[in-house]
Structure 1
């Protein structure tokens, strides 16, 4: 039975609504003129201007440092939390508490972390943002890894323990390889979230350091320029590449696990 073609209209309209602004932004990043709203001709000059901007370079370096550090923290702790919730502490209350950072509004989480840092008298800096982003992304990693756990074969773990392997050996030799596709996907998601996150970084960073989203925010207060469009296009490319790489690595891991 063929579906009416009219049913596809809302589907394509939704895609156009979501991605048309992004397409316009990317196109305008190649504008040769000074205006961010009228296309005067094709040019790559704004990408060259970005490379010469020291403030943007410093912001990019800080962002990569924060994203890398928080991804490591979120991946390790998120994986441990997912295994603990699925294998040892089966409680709906604990599940809800574990996913709370992902559900809470960013503003609430940012203010809470700022108050906590002030209570323990922690000086703000890049490391405070790394910890904050690690906490924020940990819930997402745990959700992804736990989804992967539902598809693993628990009989392999039982066989490993029956053959005399301890809990640590069983986890490293049996459980971890099965979870690797989910861990990689969670790590890519954590990296992408940290790369683009603004609110939490804005509240938990010091005065001497700025991540790239904060630099962009300070720039757009004076109006959007083609340089900002070019920067946004690069960030879009990085995020898109990270998502595709995560999906590809996950697919490869699942294929090897089936073999």
Structure 2
């Protein structure tokens, strides 16, 4: 009984310490006070000021653009890569899986510096394409890791069976393999968007100075000081968007898990 109470208390304390700063920021995004802690009355003034700020709106559109484009590219390449690894011979498969996991644990600063040195060596000017490559390099391994479990749950012989029945390789891939691993693809896509939206280090190293994203804009404003109060509203919006992504992903995974359990019961 005492152990159970201790575990529950620890969990609630952990959640409190993790989310209290965020909830504090959310609460004070609904007051126009300059400093957090000063309450001058409930107001949507910071949100109105935020959406009237042209610089912030441009940075927001740039952030969404790079996140969506890089997520689409990463999802396509990551899905094809995961399928290729899955159907590779054992020795090559093990080597590719190991190589694919290195970028996941590799510090972002290492990736950012490596890309910067490569672009400078090749004489490539920093632009939208270099930023896109940086975000794809960052998010691609996570898409592969999201798709892999679904491939492992799938019967590996269904692709060969489709080919034996007369389907072309592309048709079998599109109509047989992809529907089976679609939840993993969807999860990888959402994860790629989230990582791209959140990134600062790779963005700072691979962008053109005139291309501002939310992360670089916030860093610039904080460095110049004082911190604009409307950033509280911006942070709240980003947190709520991330929360929606997490909820949608979890609901999708639960539906797919329930579907798999029903199929297993029917087979029994």
TM bucket normalised to smaller: over 0.9
**Offset of residue 244 of structure 1:** 1.9
In the other structure, the counterpart of 1:88 is: 88
**Aligned pairs (5 A) from 1:100-119:** 100-119=102-121
In the other structure, the counterpart of 2:18 is: 18
User: Do 1:75 and 1:186's aligned partners in 2 also have CA atoms closer than 8 Å?
Assistant: yes
In the other structure, the counterpart of 2:124 is: 122
Q: Which moved more, 1:229-238 or 1:123-132?
A: 123-132
Q: Which moved more, 1:195-204 or 1:236-245?
A: 236-245
Q: Which string of whole-angstrom CA distances, capped at 9 and with x for unpartnered residues, describes residues 78-131 of structure 1?
A: 111111111114433321211222211111110111111112222212221111
In the other structure, the counterpart of 1:134 is: 136
Matched position secondary structure for 2:166 = coil
In the other structure, the counterpart of 1:230 is: 233
**Aligned pairs (5 A) from 1:105-254:** 105-221=107-223, 222-253=225-256
TM-score using structure 2 length: 0.90
Distance 1:96 1:28 in 2: 46
**Offset of residue 59 of structure 1:** 0.3
Structure 1: gaps of 5 or more residues = none
Structure 2: gaps of 5 or more residues = 264-268
User: Aligned Cα RMSD in Å?
Assistant: 2.0
Q: Which string of whole-angstrom CA distances, capped at 9 and with x for unpartnered residues, describes residues 213-253 of structure 1?
A: 10011112213343111110011111111222233334445
**Offset of residue 158 of structure 1:** 3.5
User: Do 1:32 and 1:43's aligned partners in 2 also have CA atoms closer than 8 Å?
Assistant: yes
In the other structure, the counterpart of 2:266 is: none
**Offset of residue 177 of structure 1:** 0.3
**Offset of residue 209 of structure 1:** 0.9
**Aligned pairs (5 A) from 1:64-83:** 64-83=64-83
User: Do 1:29 and 1:230's aligned partners in 2 also have CA atoms closer than 8 Å?
Assistant: yes
**Offset of residue 145 of structure 1:** 0.3
Q: Which string of whole-angstrom CA distances, capped at 9 and with x for unpartnered residues, describes residues 47-77 of structure 1?
A: 0000111110110111111001100111011
TM-score using structure 1 length: 0.93
User: Do 1:35 and 1:225's aligned partners in 2 also have CA atoms closer than 8 Å?
Assistant: no
In the other structure, the counterpart of 1:31 is: 31
Matched position secondary structure for 1:154 = coil
Matched position secondary structure for 2:230 = helix
Distance 1:203 1:75 in 2: 23
Change (3 A) 1:115 1:233: same
Distance 2:166 2:253 in 1: 31
**Aligned pairs (5 A) from 1:41-56:** 41-56=41-56
Distance 2:17 2:33 in 1: 26
Distance 1:241 1:98 in 2: 28
